[in-house]
Chain A
Amino acid sequence: MTLTELEKQVGELEDIEAIKRLQRLYVYALASQQWDDMVDCFADDGIADVYDWGPKKGKEEIGSMFRENFEGRVLPTHGHFVTQPIIEVDGDKATGIWMLYLFLPGPEMTWTQCRYDCEYVRTGGGWKFGYMKFTRPWPSEAVVTGGKD
């Protein structure tokens, strides 16, 4: 293996680490209601596609969506964590899927399984979301019941 080939392989492993870090920082910011920090995870022309609210493009639209819809709904008493990443890097772009578990307070255990489908782009400020889709619950009721819903 040449040094150039080795550098490419090392670079891809570093990219995967950086992308995992971005996604985790995004969820830490979500859990602690730091809407601006969440927006910082997006590229300038990034798209957020959350629930059925329709895709929002650019930091201004995305920030407004978070503040208007999450303020008062995403609470410190909610648990959030992401796991099970599958990341594929292709040069300055990458794709990734993750599970997000949402735990809600209650007298008994309440949880929901959700999914992120993401495209990441390498920018001057490091890896950012080019596109982020959040689906809750995932899979849909129709899928988990084998179409008997």
Chain B
Amino acid sequence: MATEEELKKRIGVLQDIREIEELHRKYVYCLCSRQWDELLDCFADDAVTDIGSNGLRLGKKEIEEMVYGKFDKLERTPGHMAAQPVITVDGDMATGYWILYLFSKNLPGEWVQGRHECLYRKINGKWRFGYVKYVRPWPPEPSDH
């Protein structure tokens, strides 16, 4: 039989998965609704992003420049939907990947399937993104070569 301590730890992992999924979904809601400050709050201060064609952004300041310099300049924000999370928790670190759909009249076929690959870190009891990579389309289209 498990001890009380062991059970508390196992319950903690389940809570961590739920909190990480909520963090990720909050990020996607903020993307849709252009709530940039709330979106930036999802990142650790030293987080790194590698989102589409925006290249590596190191630290919250560079991420903020991308958000206000690129995301905020979009004429129309597409619909976003994240699904199919696979989260693995290891103490105060976790990894996760998701499918992320974009929906827009401006896209061929009006949709594109992409993938988020993330590292999450628990800082002062709260989960934050440590690293976010976004690839689209996913899977990559077959090369012509």
Q: How many residues of chain A get a CB closer than 8 Å to chain B's CBs?
A: 31
Sorting the interface of chain B by its residue count into under 10, 10 to 19, 20 to 34 or 35 or more gives: 20 to 34
Which positions in A face B, CB cutoff 8 Å?
3-4, 6-7, 10, 13-14, 17, 21, 24-25, 27-28, 31-33, 76-77, 79-83, 103-110
Contacts A/B (CB < 8 Å), 29 sampled: A3-B1, A3-B7, A6-B7, A10-B10, A10-B11, A10-B14, A13-B14, A14-B10, A24-B86, A27-B84, A28-B84, A28-B86, A28-B99, A31-B113, A33-B139, A76-B137, A76-B141, A77-B141, A79-B111, A79-B113, A81-B101, A82-B84, A83-B84, A103-B111, A103-B113, A104-B109, A106-B109, A107-B109, A109-B110
| B78 in contact (CB, < 8 A) | no
Q: Is the CB of B85 within 8 A of A24?
A: yes
A24 to B140, CA, bound (A): 19
Residues of A within 8 A of B2 (CB): 3, 7, 10
Interface string of B1-26 (1 = CB under 8 A from A): 11110010011001001000000000
**CB atoms of B110 and A17 under 8 A apart:** no
Least CB distance, B23 to chain A, in whole angstroms: 17
Given A14-B14, A83-B83, residue A76 in contact with residue B142 (CB < 8 A) = yes
